[in-house]
Amino acid sequence: MDDVVGRLQQVVELLAVSQLDCVNEWDHQTMLRAFEWAQYCEQVHARSHANPALRSALESRLHDTNQRLRETLPSYSPVMLSELAQCQHKLLVNLLRNPSSPSSIIHVFPIDRITGEQRGLDMDQTPVITGKSALKMLCCSSDWTSYSGLQVETEVRGKLLKRHLKTILTQRGNENSARILLDSILHDSAGKTENLYDVMAAALLASDDDTNNLSRDVILGWLQSHDGCLSKLCRSLSPRLCCVLSRESVTFQRAYCDVLRRWANSLDYDVMQSAWVPTCSITSEKTVTFNVLFDRFRALLNSGSPVKEETETKLAELKVESGDFDVKGISVWTDLILQLKV
């Protein structure tokens, strides 16, 4: 038992090291070995459920190790025993958040390899090949844009994000782990969320064999559960790109229309200006104007079926809900519809 407990201590120390600058010295084999140790830790954690003595010893050693690492590393966050059930995921998140991580993390893409082993399948080389090809492409042309208008680098990052989310979600009950990953990405954006929302959009647009669209639903659910995130994403993306997303996902289309509805409700009619202006008390929506709403609804109406027809139906419903007026200056929806018909 002492050997097992000692190895767990080494894995916890490994998790701490994965957040330091020294990881830039890790080569291909070191990266693979790190994930093998993390996988071993998960197996030990699983065994501890049926072995109270082992679990008690693990908890005691983990407490001592956390205390020692806190004294050594001021920024260290203690590891809970329950977190070791997904030690590989925690290690990968640490490395992805560490700017000093070597490029081998992309070359190896260990999470796909490990998942394949757990299922008794041969290693799928596709993620490795895709990662290497993407790196070569980015080195040659980092300023290319795709058909959607996103930077190619952003599109690749979005595909990698969606692939990783899909890998996490292959195991039941891992939705919370997926949300934790998205939380960490938001935290690391340090307030500079423009690129973050572009990557989120690229992940939503990324095509794969995920017939259930579970990863897309998790991203949308996460955006909607974080106050203002979906609104900020829609505002940071062009009307055209929001239309592309609306064509790809009915769920996004409905969420987008709800965002537009909230934007419209933040406008008041100014009699002196004979125009709809932002409500001063709603600072979060102060940059939204009537012209912004007009441009976005016009783009939706020009998107073709079925988005066009569904948008027309939604506008008619909102007009009725606001009183079904036919004269200007009373309902923002009436004025929008009249302007869109010009």
Q: Per DSSP, which regions of the chain are E strands?
A: 267-270, 275-278
Q: Model confidence at 130, in pLDDT bands (50, 70, 90)?
A: very low
* Count of Cβ atoms closer than 10 Å to residue 309 Cβ: 11
Which residue from 219, 215, 240 is spatially nearest to 303, judged by alpha carbons?
240
Instruction: Write down the residue that tokens 């990662």 correspond to.
Output: 131
Q: What pLDDT score does 148 carry? A: 57
88: tokens are 């590989």
User: Does residue 117 carry a pLDDT above 50?
Assistant: no
Q: Does domain 257-342 have CATH number 1.25.40.490?
A: yes
- Which residue type, as a one-letter code, is found at position 312? E
Q: What pLDDT score does 86 carry? A: 86
101: which residues sit within 8 A by CB, 6+ positions away? 23, 24, 95
Q: What are phi and psi of 147, to 5 degrees?
A: -65, -25
DSSP 161-197: HHHHHHHHHTSTT-HHHHHHHHHHHHHHTTT--HHHH
> d(Cα 215, Cα 159) in Å, to the nearest integer?
11
Of 83-87, 112-116, 280-284, minimum mean pLDDT range: 112-116
**What secondary structure letter does DSSP report for 269?**
E
174: tokens are 């891992």
**What are the pLDDT digits (tens) for 165-194?**
887 887 777 788 888 888 877 876 666 666
220: which residues sit within 8 A by CB, 6+ positions away? 204, 230, 249, 251, 252, 255
Say whether 275 sits in a helix, a strand or coil. strand
Q: Model confidence at 101, in pLDDT bands (50, 70, 90)?
A: confident
Mean pLDDT taken over the chain: 80
Q: What pLDDT score does 255 carry? A: 94
> d(Cα 61, Cα 325) in Å, to the nearest integer?
71
**What are the pLDDT digits (tens) for 309-319?**
999 999 999 99
Say whether 19 sits in a helix, a strand or coil. coil
**What are the pLDDT digits (tens) for 213-240?**
788 889 999 999 988 889 989 988 899 9
Q: What pLDDT score does 257 carry? A: 96
Q: What pLDDT score does 209 carry? A: 57
Which residue from 247, 208, 245, 213 is spatially nearest to 230, judged by alpha carbons?
245
- Average pLDDT (298-315) is 95
Q: What pLDDT score does 191 carry? A: 63
**Better pLDDT: 125 or 175:** 175
Instruction: Write down the residue that tokens 């080494």 correspond to.
Output: 10
CA 10 to chain centre: 31
Q: What pLDDT score does 138 carry? A: 37
The fraction of the chain above a pLDDT of 90, given in percent, is 31
Q: Are 217 and 251 in contact (CB under 8 A)?
A: yes
DSSP 23-57: GGG--HHHHHHHHHHHHHHHHHHHHHTT-HHHHHH
Q: Model confidence at 149, in pLDDT bands (50, 70, 90)?
A: low
Q: Model confidence at 212, in pLDDT bands (50, 70, 90)?
A: low
No. of H helices and E strands in the chain? 17, 2
Q: Are 242 and 302 in contact (CB under 8 A)?
A: no
**What are the pLDDT digits (tens) for 247-292?**
988 999 999 999 999 999 999 999 999 999 988 655 444 568 999 9
Q: What pLDDT score does 15 carry? A: 92
* Count of Cβ atoms closer than 10 Å to residue 51 Cβ: 14
User: Does residue 111 carry a pLDDT above 70?
Assistant: no
User: Does residue 44 carry a pLDDT above 80?
Assistant: yes
Q: What pLDDT score does 208 carry? A: 60
User: Does residue 109 carry a pLDDT above 70?
Assistant: no
CA distances from 117 to 39, 170, 178, 200, 272 (A): 11, 13, 21, 29, 70
User: Does residue 147 carry a pLDDT above 70?
Assistant: no
- Average pLDDT (149-175) is 78
Domain ranges in the chain are 1-88, 109-237, 257-342
Q: Model confidence at 47, in pLDDT bands (50, 70, 90)?
A: confident
> d(Cα 85, Cα 38) in Å, to the nearest integer?
10
Q: Are 293 and 285 in contact (CB under 8 A)?
A: no
User: Does residue 97 carry a pLDDT above 80?
Assistant: no
Q: Model confidence at 131, in pLDDT bands (50, 70, 90)?
A: very low
Q: How do strand 275-278 and strand 267-270 relate by DSSP bridges?
A: antiparallel
66: tokens are 């956390």
